[in-house]
Amino acid sequence: MDETKLATLRSWIEESNQIVFFGGAGVSTESGIPDFRSADGLYNQRYAYPPETIISHTFYMKRPEIFFRFYREKMLFPEAKPNLVHEKLAKWEQEGKLLAVVTQNIDGLHQAAGSKRVYELHGSVHRNYCERCHAFYSLSDLLAMEDIPHCTCGGRIKPDVVLYEEGLDGDTVNGAVSAIRNADLLIVAGTSLSVYPAAAFLDEYRGTRLVLINKTETARDNIADLVFHEKLGEVFEKLP
């Protein structure tokens, strides 16, 4: 790892009190949750339909039995625990250094690590609602049901995750954009930056300290002030 770059990042973190962390699936791979686009990610495995088709709104409506089989097998990891990255971000927030976490992840691991201000752009597997009466169901409620989950009122229960073709929640977007605009240091990590509109949120940053940490190149490496092509855990273990 480049020690000069690491020293720069360390000093930026020391000087900051409005850090915003923008993350993706790569933040949770070291907790055992596969990402989508790595070589061993979900998009490089074979299914009867491409994953982006299965997790679309149209497919959810038309073929719920296949949707829920895939969702249960490939998107729920109830045993996963926060890793060093989740934990360090929670610590920075507690120390008054970190303003917010903006995440594309749906696994709830930032909150499990103790983070309070988390903008979940794509929702969370921990929230599920009846489509008819809007009753709330937890992840364990859903796991206790089989196949297509149904509410006691007979309505179908939908996970509060944003499927392809669905829009993002307005309040979450506003909170995330406002945090990014106010950031004195923006750390973007573990994301291929290929899912829109989420990837465009980077353009809201107005500062000069945009750090990108990703195992592989991303489409936006060119706009970053500091780029690390490393595993997140290996960078974060060297940070304050």
CA distance 236 to 214: 12
Single residue of 105, 110, 176, 220 touching ligand CNA by CB under 6 A: 105
One-letter amino acid identity for 112?
A
For residue 126, what are the contacts with CB-CB under 8 A and spacing of at least 6? Answer: 108, 138, 139
Nearer to ligand CNA by Cβ, of 51 and 151: the residue is 51
Nearer to ligand CNA by Cβ, of 15 and 165: the residue is 165
Nearer to ligand CNA by Cβ, of 151 and 176: the residue is 176
CA distance 146 to 157: 12
CA distance 150 to 157: 5
Question: Least CB distance from residue 174 to ligand CNA, whole Å?
Answer: 19
Per the CB < 8 A criterion, the answer to whether 152 and 129 are in contact is no
Per CB under 6 A, which region of 136-144, 149-157, 186-194, 219-227 contacts ligand CNA?
186-194
Single residue of 16, 21, 24, 51 touching ligand CNA by CB under 6 A: 24
How many CA atoms within 13 Å lie on the side-chain side of 12? 21
Per CB under 6 A, which region of 60-68, 100-108, 150-158, 167-175 contacts ligand CNA?
100-108
Q: Does 94 bind ligand CNA (CB under 6 A)?
A: no
Q: Does 83 bind ligand CNA (CB under 6 A)?
A: no
Single residue of 16, 56, 104, 115 touching ligand CNA by CB under 6 A: 104
Judge whether 57 counts as a catalytic residue. no
Q: Does 30 bind ligand CNA (CB under 6 A)?
A: yes
Sheet of strand 210-213: strand arrangement: 118-120, 98-103, 19-23, 185-189, 210-213, 226-228
Q: How many CB atoms lie within 10 A of CB 217?
A: 12
What does the block give as tokens for 186?
């923006």
Per the CB < 8 A criterion, the answer to whether 25 and 199 are in contact is no
* Interface residue list for ligand CNA (CB under 6 A): 24-26, 28-30, 33, 35-38, 41, 104-107, 122, 190-192, 194-195, 214-216, 231-232
**Active site members:** 122
